Chains A and B, each alone.
Chain A
Amino acid sequence: MLEGDIEALKGAIAIIGYGLAAIGPGIGIGIVVGNAITAMARQPEMAGTIRTTMFLGIAFTEALALIGFVLFFIA
């Protein structure tokens, strides 16, 4: 195979890899935020604490997608 073809193939695989890496965190962030909204609706007086915890949860979940994003550049 030609050098350029290999490069193109690598790029395509990296894009697919990033897409796969984004699935899990996407679902995870949805669950985190959804449950946070439910909790805030139930106990509006706790909204501040819940919001902080929600951002923490999002940050931890998001990390996986971001690692995938970085690996996309490395590949």
Chain B
Amino acid sequence: MDQLILATECDVVNEVICAPDDVKELFEFTEVIFSIGPIGVTKTIFLFFLAAFVVVGLLYFGLRKRRMVPSKFGVVIESLLDFVKNDIAKDIIGPEGARYVPYLTAIFLFILVGNLFEVTPLINFPITARMAIPAFLAIVTYVIFVFVGFGRNKFRFLFDTVWPKHVPIGLRWLVGIIELVSIFLLRPFTLAVRLFANMVAGHLMLTLLLGSGVIFLTSFPEIGAKALVGIPWFVLGLAIYLFEIVVSVLQAYIFTLLSAVYIQSSVHFEH
């Protein structure tokens, strides 16, 4: 159990909470669990593909039967897809949003499942807490909105960003620099970091609190009454657990929403 959620030794006699010596142990799994040919698959990589197949499986079983009246599960899947299509793509980007629905749906579902791995029993690891996924998805969004921006507005997209004509001439250079940095550097960076940091923080809190709770309570025979320290940790951990379910869904929504907003700012470029 404690190997699963807290991969570290805990000095229950001297400490009051089990903090890992090195945070990396909670996130980096270098051990190869099985190999396909020359490629070694670590736990993280396995979970990446598991998330992908969970998404594919959910969609397949939710949409397989083309019935007049969908089953309860089918309704959930259909309303998720409808939510991305109407509440994100159409509401934010407008009628042209239909082109981006496949991408937005894919990132929403992939991140949602990846985030929910954090609170899934026996997995308990958010794959979005590995920078690879947020960084890659943020770069894809970046590439899309930069390409759309240049494709639709040619080099006006760049010139009007650096030299915004609606700003008074005295401030124009300053606003231009801020906009340039904000659009071309900070946007992809914050997009990736927001998701990544939320999931890292959530996973840290859960492992720290639930792990401490379980370890202290199970070491009751050795340390006696001090084991009661585990109760508040465990209760707090359960509260954070519920909170993290909300955060998981919310961060998937926000990542998708911000991708749509960035694409929209390139589609309807007004400066």
Say yes or no for B91: interface residue by CB 8 A criterion: yes
Contact B193 A56 (CB under 8 A): no
Category for how many chain A residues contact B: 10 to 19
Task: Determine how close the nearest CB of chain A comes to the CB of B117; give it in whole angstroms.
Answer: 20
Q: Which of A59, A67, A69, A73 contacts B254 (CB 8 A)?
A: A59
Q: Chain A: interface secondary structure?
A: helix
Contact A63 B91 (CB under 8 A): no
Contact bitstring A35-75, B, C-beta under 8 A = 1, else 0: 00000000000000000100110111011001101100100
Contact A69 B194 (CB under 8 A): no
Contact B190 A56 (CB under 8 A): no
Q: Given A55-B254, A56-B261 in contact, is the A73-B23 Cβ separation under 8 Å?
A: yes
Say yes or no for B47: interface residue by CB 8 A criterion: no
Contacts of B92 in A (CB 8 A): 52
Interface residues of A, Cβ cutoff 8 Å to B:
52, 55-56, 58-60, 62-63, 66-67, 69-70, 73
Interface residues of B, Cβ cutoff 8 Å to A:
23, 87, 91-92, 186, 190, 193-194, 196-198, 200-201, 250, 253-254, 257-258, 261
Contacts of B198 in A (CB 8 A): 66
Contact A62 B91 (CB under 8 A): no
Task: Determine how close the nearest CB of chain B comes to the CB of A60; give it in whole angstroms.
Answer: 8
Q: How far is the CA of A58 from the CA of B193 in the complex (A)?
A: 14
Q: Which of A55, A58, A63 has the most CB of B within 10 A?
A: A63
Contact B197 A69 (CB under 8 A): yes
Task: Determine how close the nearest CB of chain B comes to the CB of A3; give it in whole angstroms.
Answer: 16
Q: Which of B23, B197, B250, B257 has the most CB of A within 10 A?
A: B197
Q: How far is the CA of A58 from the CA of B247 in the complex (A)?
A: 13
Q: Which of B23, B194, B200, B257 contacts A52 (CB 8 A)?
A: B257
Contacts of A67 in B (CB 8 A): 190, 193
Contacts of A73 in B (CB 8 A): 23, 200
Contact A59 B258 (CB under 8 A): yes
